């Protein structure tokens, strides 16, 4: 039996990349997992490959109906929800500020910021209905903490995620609900368009640890933040970036 035996967990964006690794790790720790993704086929494939009981849901996290559908699926199948990894995200189009398309800005904000807001709201409503505590992890980013070239919508959305973490952690602390974030550095996943993915390896050389991260290295932080080993940790943003953030923050 793992650390999360008996728990029910929801992972959004679980059909690919970090979300898939998180779903796998939470299942290995003993949780029953609901894999939610806008790509229902991917969610189904991932859920079918997990150890233990799992459910897949096709859901768009940027809509109230989408969020309601994964909450309902979890409760119908497992009767409750204890843990949420609000992870679904998009990068948007890379463009210098004068050329950012407002429609792209709106889409990135809808998925990356409205999505976790709706997810947090639904999580807290569920905890209230269950009269239970729980834990929530949001996927922030190194872009939550510093500037980045040509990524204004993404960076803005990920800075906003920190506001959600801090506000929700304040609300949750006296109610037995912990809210934290993981801030990944560069992790090769499907979020990068093929042209950027091709040059990702070179950027690994600029990172203090001299390599890109892996999805499993992010999932380990998620499992820690959702488990009882972090029972006194809330409102925290844990960077998992090979030291990339300290390059800009430590004066040598």
**How far is the CA of 183 from the CAs of 15, 16, 94, 119, in angstroms?**
19, 17, 20, 18
* Torsion sign over Cα 228, 234, 239, 245: negative
What is 192-217 written as a DSSP string?
S-HHHHHHHHHHHTTSTTSS---HHH
Question: Is 234 an interacting residue with respect to ligand NAD (CB under 6 A)?
Answer: no
Q: What's the closest the beta carbon of residue 35 comes to ligand NAD, in angstroms?
A: 10
Instruction: Report the distance separating Cα 60 and Cα 242, nearest Å.
Output: 31
Binding mask 56-85 for ligand NAD (x = CB under 6 A): ---xxxx-----------------------
> What share of residues in the chain are helix, strand, coil (percent, to 5)?
50, 15, 35
Q: What's the closest the beta carbon of residue 126 comes to ligand NAD, in angstroms?
A: 18
Q: Where are the beta strands (DSSP E) in 53-140?
A: 54-58, 83-86, 134-139
Binding mask 141-180 for ligand NAD (x = CB under 6 A): x---------------------------------------
154 is catalytic: yes
Question: Is 186 an interacting residue with respect to ligand NAD (CB under 6 A)?
Answer: yes
CB 128 within 8 A of CB 172: no
Question: Is 42 an interacting residue with respect to ligand NAD (CB under 6 A)?
Answer: yes
Instruction: Report the distance separating Cα 236 and Cα 181, nearest Å.
Output: 6
Task: Name beta bridge partners: 237.
Answer: 181
Q: Please say which residue, 48 or 173, places its beta carbon nearer to ligand NAD.
A: 48
Q: Please say which residue, 91 or 176, places its beta carbon nearer to ligand NAD.
A: 91
Indicate which single residue of 57, 89, 127, 227 sits in contact with ligand NAD (rule: CB under 6 A): 89
Q: What's the closest the beta carbon of residue 228 comes to ligand NAD, in angstroms?
A: 24
Catalytic residue among 70, 127, 154, 171: 154
Indicate which single residue of 75, 95, 148, 191 sits in contact with ligand NAD (rule: CB under 6 A): 191
Q: How many residues line the site for ligand NAD (CB under 6 A)?
A: 28
CB 153 within 8 A of CB 146: no
Could you say which DSSP state residue 80 is in?
Answer: -
Q: Please say which residue, 50 or 186, places its beta carbon nearer to ligand NAD.
A: 186
In this chain, which stretch among 24-32, 95-103, 181-189, 227-235 interacts with ligand NAD, using CB under 6 A?
Answer: 181-189
Instruction: Report the distance separating Cα 127 and Cα 179, nearest Å.
Output: 13
Query: Which residues in this chain contact ligand NAD in the complex, by CB under 6 A?
Result: 12-13, 15-19, 37-39, 42, 59-62, 87-90, 111, 139, 141, 184, 186-187, 189-191
Q: Which residues are the active-site residues?
A: 154
């Amino acid at each position: 039996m793992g650390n999360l035996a008996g728990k029910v967990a929801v992972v959004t964006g679980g059909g690919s990349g970090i979300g898939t690794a998180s779903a796998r790790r939470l299942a290995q720790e003993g949780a029953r997992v609901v894999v939610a993704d806008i790509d229902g086929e991917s969610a189904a494939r991932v859920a079918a490959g997990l150890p233990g009981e799992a459910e897949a849901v096709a859901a768009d996290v940027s809509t109230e109906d989408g969020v309601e559908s994964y909450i309902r699926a979890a409760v119908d199948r497992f009767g409750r929800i204890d843990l949420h990894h609000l992870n679904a995200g998009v990068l948007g189009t890379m463009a210098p500020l004068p050329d950012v398309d407002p429609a792209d800005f709106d889409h990135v904000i809808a998925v990356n910021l409205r999505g976790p807001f709706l997810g947090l709201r639904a999580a807290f409503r569920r905890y209230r209905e269950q009269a239970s505590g729980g834990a929530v992890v949001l996927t922030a980013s190194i872009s939550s903490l510093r500037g980045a070239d040509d990524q204004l919508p993404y960076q803005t959305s990920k800075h906003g995620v920190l506001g959600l973490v801090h506000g929700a952690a304040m609300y949750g602390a006296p109610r037995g609900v912990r809210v934290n974030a993981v801030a990944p550095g560069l992790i090769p996943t499907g979020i990068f368009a093929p042209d950027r993915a091709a040059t990702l390896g070179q950027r690994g050389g600029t990172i203090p640890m001299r390599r890109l991260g892996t999805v499993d290295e992010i999932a380990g932080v998620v499992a820690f933040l959702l488990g009882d080993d972090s029972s006194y940790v809330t409102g925290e943003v844990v960077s998992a970036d090979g030291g990339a953030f300290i390059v800009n923050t430590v004066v040598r």
